[in-house]
Amino acid sequence: MEKNKTGKYFKYAIGEIVLVVIGILIALSINNWNEERKLETQEIKILKELLVNLRADSTDHASNFEWYDHASKSSAIVVQSLESRTPWNDTMAEHYGWIFMKGLANLNTSAYDNLKSQGFNLINSDSIRNALTHLYSSEYDRYLKYEKEFSIDNSNMLVIPVLLKRLRMDEWWHATPLDYETLLDDVEFREVVRFKGITMAFMRGHCASSLEGVIKLMRMIERELDKRESN
């Protein structure tokens, strides 16, 4: 009888232990599920923030591309007219005005900076993580470096001083030579304008490359968000 009681006791104790273990496992499973849901919510939030930033950047890039394109083409037109000694025509005033212009990037990195502080592992997609780091840490850095060197510094130190001595800005995007006949033989002016056109074409190419990266990443994030919403 004592042995029979002891056997029942052990069976009861083992049953209790099993129930406790099962309870712990269920609690851990629920906790893990809650943590996963929390991380997924954070991920979706940061992806949406990135998308907002990228859409703003795409608009900024498109605008800058137009500015670089106009400045490059107008500079080439001015050089060609001087080399061919074309008589002055008032329609050229707009092209002379565009020589003063340049693009200026206004990049939105708040969501990316926020992601860096939280950790890139928050993003599950390897392809999105790789595209993010390439765009923000490589493409944007290179673009801003070239913009400072070729668009800002060269313009302020080399181009603008030469232009201001020879041209009068009548209004925005509109300038006329102080003495057009003298300008026809002004080698320094012509070569500075040629340099301006070449550097603006260079920046136009990098702006287009950066815009391509922005659009590609936008599409990746949009597809990821659509996939999450359909699940």
Q: Residue 1 has what pLDDT?
A: 44
Please count the CA atoms within 13 angstroms of the CA of 24 that sit on its side-chain side: 6
Q: If you average pLDDT over residues 173-194, what whole number do you get?
A: 96
The model's pTM: 0.82
Locate 45 and state its tokens: 């939030």
Q: If you average pLDDT over residues 136-146, what whole number do you get?
A: 93
Of the candidate ranges 20-34, 97-111, 130-144, 194-208, the one whose mean pLDDT is the lowest:
20-34
φ and ψ at 177, to 5 degrees? -65, 145
Share of the chain above pLDDT 90, in %: 68
- The domain ranges of the chain are 2-230
Which residue is associated with the tokens 């592992």?
121
φ and ψ at 87, to 5 degrees? -60, 150
pLDDT digits (tens, 9 = 90+) for 2-55: 555 566 666 666 766 766 677 677 766 666 655 667 767 889 999 999 999 999
Q: Residue 27 has what pLDDT?
A: 63
Q: Residue 181 has what pLDDT?
A: 96
Residues 6+ apart with CB under 8 A from 32: none
Among 99, 100, 76, 59, smallest CA distance to 207 is for 59
**Contact of 146 with 203, CB cutoff 8 Å:** yes
158 burial type by CB count under 10 A (0-12 exposed, 13-18 middle, 19+ buried): middle
155 or 23, higher pLDDT: 155
pLDDT at 87 > cutoff 50: yes
Q: If you average pLDDT over residues 86-100, what whole number do you get?
A: 96
82: how many CB neighbours lie within 10 A of its CB? 20
